[in-house]
Amino acid sequence: MPKIELAVLDQDSAYLKAFVDFLSADYNYKFNICHFTKVDYLIKYLTANNCRVDISVIDFASYTDEILNYDVGEIVILTQGYHQLEDKTVKLVNKYQQGDKLISEILNCCSEASCINDFNNNNKKKTNVVAVYSPIGGSGKTCIAIGAAIRCINRGFKVFYLNLESASSVDLFFDCNKVHSISEVLYFLKEKGKNINNKIEALKSVDAITGIHFLSSPDRCFDYDEIEPEEYKHLIASIVEIGIYDFVFVDMPSDINKRVIPLLDICDNIILPALEDGLSNNKLEKFYNELKAVDGELYERVKGKITKVVNRASQYHSCMGDHNNAVDIKLPEIDTLISYKHNRASLNLNNEFGAALDKIISLTI
């Protein structure tokens, strides 16, 4: 399918140029963009070229009912945060906000419209889906997942981080959009909503510091319990289908159940962290035995994707359990790995831990 046809009309030429430059730089994969400073120019363009647009983004001062006589698609009005219209069906968006959030709000206004189709990007990237999973609580799984995502960003890759834990730490590590959460996407999945790709793009956030794309924590910890394995597969497949991400890191829950195992099967790679103790080995044995009990072929498929990691490793540790599980990577214990400022956690990766993460990423490419 083609890109979304987007018309932007704003009398403020400086704002218009900045907005269109941003769209061209960051959203060229998604939009074909035409832009105007006057209503007459937009109307002339539509009539002279006998064309249509999917979304028209129009500043409040330029909006007129005359526009409704033309094929302008879904209309979104750019306001300065205080304007109102008598027609409550017209969607209003504050024009003065961070660019990715502005695009997310525009897409969210239009994501269920019949004229907005999912599109295929002709230059779609091959997306590597990496599950970070461990049946062992306290294995450092989330720090490894976020740390690996950051190191990928530093290499120039585009990354989506998806946290599927009921008690998610997303809001601790990232600048979360408190307006939207992953719960809206989960509801959309349950309702079999169309254009799930657009919905994800509309509701995602982009962390201002790391540049990682993500969905904010669920409204309730129990929201994940209502989602079936096939719906989770659809969620991950839809993120991949967006076509702009080099990596999707899936921070998995530590359970061993019907929800987790099918997701491990569809991922391209699995990072499996453990600790140096008997409890870790015991839980790993239970995990592998459960895989075998479910399906012998599934066991072989999943095991073949695993990168075995020992976190907070000593110099001499070399195995994980009794499955001939030689360790692939050792992550050293770093006392200053996590720092806190203004209720936000940050990872210090300029050390041996970060270097070890680079080795893990090299194994998954």
Residue 120: per-residue pLDDT: 46
Q: Sort 122 into a burial class: Cβ within 10 Å, 0-12 / 13-18 / 19+.
A: exposed
Q: For residue 152, give Cα distances in angstroms to 125, 143, 337.
A: 15, 14, 18
Cα–Cα distance, 54 to 32 (Å, whole number): 10
Query: Cα(first)–Cα(last) distance of the chain, in Å?
Result: 29
In the chain, what's the furthest Cα-to-Cα distance?
A: 76
Q: pTM of the entire structure? A: 0.80
Closest CA relative to residue 203, chosen from 191, 217, 220: 217
Cα–Cα distance, 17 to 7 (Å, whole number): 13
Q: For residue 77, give Cα distances in angstroms to 66, 81, 204, 206.
A: 14, 11, 21, 23
Hey, what domains does the chain have and what are their CATH numbers?
A: 4-110 (3.40.50.10850), 128-174+245-364 (3.40.50.300)
> Residue-wise pLDDT tens for the chain (365 aa)?
468 899 999 999 999 999 999 999 888 888 899 999 999 999 888 888 777 788 999 999 999 888 888 888 889 999 987 666 666 667 888 898 888 888 888 888 876 655 555 554 455 678 999 999 999 989 999 999 999 999 999 999 999 999 999 889 999 999 876 678 899 999 988 887 777 887 898 889 889 899 999 999 998 888 888 888 899 999 999 999 888 899 999 999 999 888 899 999 999 999 999 998 888 999 999 999 999 998 889 999 999 999 999 999 876 555 555 455 578 899 999 999 999 998 899 999 999 999 999 999 998 87
All residues at 6 or more sequence positions from 294 whose CB lies less than 8 Å from its CB, including other chains: 261
Cα–Cα distance, 329 to 309 (Å, whole number): 5
Residue 192: per-residue pLDDT: 79
Q: Sort 339 into a burial class: Cβ within 10 Å, 0-12 / 13-18 / 19+.
A: exposed
Where b means 16+ CB within 10 Å and e means fewer, 263-293 reads bbbebebbbbbbbbeeebbebbeebbeebee
Question: What is residue 248's three-state secondary structure?
Answer: strand
269-274 and 128-132 as β-strands: parallel, antiparallel, unpaired? parallel
Residue 320: per-residue pLDDT: 56
